[in-house]
Amino acid sequence: MTSATIGKIVLTCAVVLGGAGFLVYSAFGSTEKYRMVHDLVHDGFDKWKDTDLKVHGYVQAGSIIEAIEGQDTDRTFILERNGVRIRVFSKGPKPDTFKDRAEVIATGRLVPGADLQARADAICKALKNPTGCPIRADAEQKMVLDSTDMTAKCPSKYDGAPAIELNPQYK
């Protein structure tokens, strides 16, 4: 084998391995962590700061407060799982099956509750019948979830699949 051939092989391997390594590295960097509500609290919030999270839990009954401000819909509710709760803020559309006790996966980032206190107050102000107000954003945890997307989970009749995500439009 000539040194040129060996050089070619080494170069090819380097490119392939380098590419694959960088791929794995970048995949770790950009995964959305799929978490249960209690994981967040249990592991401490700092671990999840500045990460895109998918938080899985149930909507606490009676916690949904929704207001239309101008032409924007803003809402806040409490996501609960195994007795641990976190407040979620979300704008825009919601899944059809979003209601009390619905199983929800909310995608978003953790922010300090105090930062969203103004938003909570604005929701209360826009309501004609402000039940549940005023809202203290950090009453449950010091951090709240600022959600950009919500997906509802519900049982499917399609070929006995236990659970599939049914509202891909909210991806």
Of 94-153, which residues contact other proteins (CB under 8 A)? Answer: 94, 96-97
C-alpha closest to that of 110 among 54, 64, 61 = 54
Contact 60, 78 (CB under 8 A): yes
Tokens of 68: 């239309």
Nearer CB in complex with other proteins: 26/82: 26
Among 7, 31, 62, 100, interactor with other proteins by CB under 8 A: 31
What is the rounded distance in angstroms from the CA atom of residue 78 to the CA atom of residue 65?
A: 10
Burial class (CB in 10 A: 0-12, 13-18, 19+), 147: buried
Residue count, binding to other proteins (CB under 8 A): 37
Of 51-70, which residues contact other proteins (CB under 8 A)? Answer: 54, 68
Write phi, then psi, for 59 (nearest 5 degrees).
-75, 125
Q: Does residue number 30 form part of the binding site for other proteins (CB under 8 A)?
A: yes
Q: Does residue number 82 form part of the binding site for other proteins (CB under 8 A)?
A: no
Q: Does residue number 71 form part of the binding site for other proteins (CB under 8 A)?
A: yes
Binding site for other proteins (CB under 8 A): 19, 22-23, 26-27, 29-34, 54, 68, 71-73, 91-94, 96-97, 154-155, 157-162, 164-166, 168-171
